[in-house]
Amino acid sequence: MEYQFIRDPISGLRIKISSEHAVIGRWLNEEIGKDKINMVQALIASVASSFEALTLQGQEIDLILNKDEAIFEAHALHQDSEDLFAYQDDELMLEENGLSSGCGFEDFVDLINSWQEFITGR
């Protein structure tokens, strides 16, 4: 997983990440930012000492974390077909690409630790 952290004068601290992991970048930029990093680190510690998968529900993206992997799913991925039927006349389709992604647990931990160092200026 390739990524780069950016200090943007307009939007602040951001992550730029490969397109196949775009939902992970959205999650980190929009759901976590600087304010919720400690909560994510506590979740990592809980998963590391447990056999259970844990879910962190976000406003738009959920994180499902276990000892093997981190899975990110946008809420739009689980829309009912009835909900989508309302947009049929507009010829809009739900694009599932970019709504779900994952990475290994160790890669996720490295990402979170790197983000922590970046936002604290270390």
Question: 87-103: per-residue pLDDT in tens?
Answer: 454 444 444 456 889 99
Q: Where are the beta strands (DSSP E) in the chain?
A: 3-8, 12-17, 54-56, 61-65, 69-74, 100-104
Taking the model in full, what pTM does it have?
Answer: 0.81
The Cα 21–Cα 104 span in angstroms is 12
pLDDT tens sequence across 78-87: 555 455 455 4
Residues whose CB falls within 8 Å of the CB of residue 112, separated by 6 or more in sequence, listed in order: 37, 40, 41, 44
Pairing of strands 61-65, 69-74: antiparallel
Coil vs helix vs strand at 74: strand
In tens digits, the chain (122 residues) has pLDDT values of 899 999 988 878 999 999 889 999 999 999 999 999 999 999 999 999 988 999 999 999 999 999 999 999 998 765 554 554 554 544 444 444 568 899 999 999 999 999 999 999 86
